[in-house]
A and B are shown apart, each in its own frame.
Chain A
């Protein structure tokens, strides 16, 4: 199942990002999970504010990283969908 561009992804309560100073990377903290984020994951979640639609998130990433939209759309959708399957994110 893929997320529609008009849909709005939001991290669920009790799920948050944090910069891990000790290890020098971003992590996603969730119930009994700590997931190390790579630069791409961290960039996507930095734009996932719960208000922006997937389309809006893509627009922001395109503008910020000067990346071709159709190239990143798949990656962003797959990443957010994997979080949804793990009950860390909801889509409204």
Chain B
């Protein structure tokens, strides 16, 4: 019932159901300062964050709405002292809880406590395959060594471990070592996520954009490793979309499967949606979550196909990629309803690829994320 449907006449109709997953960005505070952080450039400060009791109530509402998976993220979620209470709330409402963490702020004791409270899964970020690269990119000395500890505690507690490795010009060539490391650490899943140019990554395009050849090789390496490691390691892959011919099916379609709540309580269809200036995001402090999901203007803005322009409107791929990423269309075409410029059918495609190639060839300095107070 949630899948888009194309009928025999080729006219497509999209139906959407309740959300499956929710990303709870419980804080923007983070000890790391990765130059590709997906958080917005304007970060919410500690005193602007939702208090425990509102998050707990929002988790109840999410479960009633149909959310199955609760991703506890940030910033660094372990920066919140009430993380334990939030994990308990997930269990109370039978939500599958996933801790998306840098590892900093966790101890063996704390992780054991989180497991006892019902934590289901740990996703640990990895900024590089050795301390030199990881600590440089994360901007945190000693971070790599702490991550290795956290990975060890996670697997000894028999919690499933996913590693999330963001790939870019400076580390994508070391993908084979990243895959080997994931196997050695006992991870069940590896996310090979080529950096997407939203948030802080926009400031660092020249330093982070991989070349077309790098991106192509990474794709081949992932395909080879998936086959070789079947039953050992599951690899999810986010390719470098600026070197692709067709756009990513962003969020599986706007407002169709997932939602994101930012630290101050605003509810968004994706983590970059705030870059679309005309959208107004409603807040869980003011409105029930179900009303926001079903009725709010922001969630309905790009649902279905009515909003589409040409070439998307008559494109047979529209039910497959939904016209790509709205935020990328906004950023590059200046119109969130335009075709994602990654698409070969976009009039801006050639320009986007030239810019990507130019950035890949130049070597900018890194601007690191700064800390909210």
Contacts and interface: CB of A to CB of B under 8 A. Distances in A.
Given A13-B160, A31-B189, 7 more contacts: A18-B96, A23-B1, A30-B160, A31-B98, A32-B98, A32-B189, A85-B230
Contacts of B158: 13
Interface residues of B, number: 28
B68 A20 contact: yes
Interface in B134-180: 158-160, 162
Q: Say whether chain B's binding surface is mostly helix, strand, loop, or mixed.
A: loop
A31 B160 contact: yes
Interface string A2-30: 00000000001111101010110001011
A34 interface: yes
A84 interface: yes
A87 interface: yes
A27 B189 CA distance: 20
Contacts of B20: 34
Contacts, number: 60
Contact of B18 (A12, A16, A23): A23
B356 to A, nearest CB: 28
B65 A87 contact: no
A32 B18 contact: no
B233 A87 contact: yes
B188 A23 contact: no
A64 interface: no
Interface size class of A (residues with CB under 8 A): 10 to 19
B69 A22 contact: no
Contact of B66 (A12, A14, A23, A84): A23
A54 to B, nearest CB: 16
Given A12-B160, A23-B17, A87-B189, A32 B66 contact: no
Interface in B63-114: 64-66, 68-69, 94, 96, 98
25 contacts: A13-B158, A13-B159, A13-B160, A14-B120, A14-B121, A14-B159, A18-B96, A22-B64, A22-B65, A22-B66, A23-B1, A23-B17, A29-B68, A29-B69, A31-B189, A32-B98, A32-B121, A32-B236, A34-B20, A34-B68, A34-B96, A85-B231, A87-B189, A87-B231, A87-B232
Contacts of A16: 96
B262 interface: no
